Amino acid sequence: MTGHAAQYSYNDIIDAGASDFITKPFSVGELKAKIDRIEREKQALRELRTANAALHATLDDTIDALASSLEMRDPYTAGHQQRVAALACAMAEEMGLPDPVIDAIRMAGRVHDIGKISVPSEILSKPSRLKENEMSLIKEHARVGFEILSKVRFQSPIAKIVLQHHERINGTGYPEGLRGPDILLEARIIAVADVVEAISSHRPYRPALGIDTALHEITKNKGALYDSEVVDACLRLFNAKDYKL
């Protein structure tokens, strides 16, 4: 409420934190109308926040359901996606990325291998090295995952992150052979987390190789296969902050 509105622009007053203003002289009816409008706007905002929270919870449930469906088919995937998501989020936090980006990384990490649902279970659990045609089927999982997740209306590019998580900085990855900054940062982060977890853990065709071997792999190929900033964040977590998978 002011008697000197001409001294300030409308934007000046709103930027100072006011929802609206009214100049003197004014009528009681005018004041009441302003208050009623502000209350309606506040109620609409509260309802929007509630709806957004419900939508986010539904998306979380969708992610968990998709992750569980794959883990039921592939015992070696059980826990892998969750550990990758946790490590990727820790790396993103270490890099100082904003919460919405970290949340997208968490969701994408939880389902980054969902495309493997199209791969025969005997290939997923094969106790020996895969043949070339079997590896070709495995490599399709990134694209299949993208196709599955594209049908869900995420607020973040979850499907695209999953599509790109096997791309490599020097263009030798798959499925599209993207290079450097053409790969989403979120995908570059999940790529490193995926490699570290996979090397550290038991696989159908070999025993666990341990965290030291995993860290040696990303250090050796830093800037070539893996994003340098992402690798540095991962190394800090394990070497300076005692992160445990």
The pLDDT tens digits of the residues spanning 41-94 come to 777 777 667 656 555 666 677 788 777 777 777 767 778 999 999 999 999 999
| 3-state SS class at 13 | helix
pLDDT at 174: 97
Confidence of residue 129 (pLDDT cuts 50, 70, 90): confident
Q: Could you read off the pLDDT of 184-199 as tens digits, one per residue?
A: 999 999 999 999 999 9
Report the pLDDT value the prediction gives residue 64, as an integer from 0 to 100.
Answer: 80
Which of residues 32 and 172 earns the better pLDDT score?
A: 172
pLDDT, position 26: 64
Spacing of C-alpha 196 from chain mean position = 17
For residues 127-149, average pLDDT: 93
pLDDT reported for residue 153: 83
**pLDDT tier for residue 233 given thresholds of 50, 70 and 90:** very high
Indicate if the pLDDT at residue 7 is higher than 90: no
Q: How confident is the model at residue 18 (pLDDT cuts 50, 70, 90)?
A: low
Q: What is the mean pLDDT of residues 129-141?
A: 93
Three-state secondary structure call for residue 202: coil
- For residue 142, the model assigns a pLDDT of 97
The sign one gets for the Cα dihedral 134, 139, 143, 147 is: positive
Position with higher pLDDT, 36 vs 196: 196
CA distance linking residue 217 with residue 240, whole number of Å: 18
Tell me which residue has tokens 């003197």.
Answer: 24
Cβ atoms within 10 Å, residue 151: 7
What residue type is 234 in one-letter code? Answer: C
Residues in the chain, overall count = 245
At a CB cut-off of 8 Å and minimum separation 6, what does 20 contact? 14, 34, 37, 38
Greatest pairwise CA separation for the chain in angstroms? 86
Please name the residue ranges forming H helices in 8-27: 10-15
- Residues 107/62, Cβ–Cβ less than 8 Å: no
> Stretch 157-167: mean pLDDT, rounded?
98
Q: Which DSSP category does 156 fall into?
A: S
Task: Enter the tokens of residue 172.
Answer: 């030798």
Q: Give the mean pLDDT of 5-24.
A: 57
Spell out the residues 6+ positions from residue 31 whose beta carbon is closer than 8 angstroms to its own. 22
Which string of DSSP letters, residue by residue, matches 128-146?
Answer: SPPPHHHHHHHHTHHHHHH
Q: Which residues contact 156 (CB under 8 A, 6 or more apart)?
A: 100, 101, 103, 104, 107, 108
**Residue 5: predicted pLDDT:** 47
- Looking at residue 47, what is its pLDDT? 66
Q: For residue 146, what are the CA distances in angstroms to 45, 112, 134, 196, 243?
A: 33, 9, 20, 22, 30
State the burial class of residue 153 (Cβ atoms within 10 Å of its Cβ: 0-12, 13-18, 19+).
exposed
